[in-house]
Amino acid sequence: MRLFLDTSVLATCGSASGAAREILRLAAPNQWTLVVTPFVVEEVLRNLPQLASILFSALAWTDVLLAHDRGHFGELPGKEFYGLAIRSPGQFLIRERTAGRLKAV
């Protein structure tokens, strides 16, 4: 499964704990491909306020968009955007565990 990491998730992957860090840790054993674009990397570096292009990048390249940012994404986490699942890292992990797809390390 390919997962697009939005700026807010990518920025928090380096923390010592939390769902974003867990996504990073579990990616290889669960055969998840974590996807970011140069735009996301630049956005993390510049902390851009406008994230709309993230939705369209994720829609074009991935199955799931992982996002923390309710300020920019509003009520989209937990819902769909033109068939693209938008989840917080925690929602994603719960969904994968519930479906029996999560492999422990």
72-98 pLDDT, tens per residue? 677 777 888 777 888 989 999 999 999
Binned at pLDDT 50, 70 and 90, residue 21 comes out as: confident
Task: Give the per-residue pLDDT at 59.
Answer: 79
Terminal-to-terminal C-alpha distance of the chain: 17
Question: What's the CA gap between 101 and 54, in Å, rounded?
Answer: 26
Q: Does pTM top 0.75 for this prediction?
A: no
Task: Give the per-residue pLDDT at 51.
Answer: 52
Residue 24 · residue 87 · CB < 8 Å = no
30-60 pLDDT, tens per residue? 999 999 999 888 887 776 455 577 777 887 7
Q: Where are the domains of the chain?
A: 2-73+82-98
Average pLDDT, stretch 19-40?
93
Give the torsion sign (CA, 75, 81, 85, 86). negative
Task: Give the per-residue pLDDT at 23.
Answer: 93
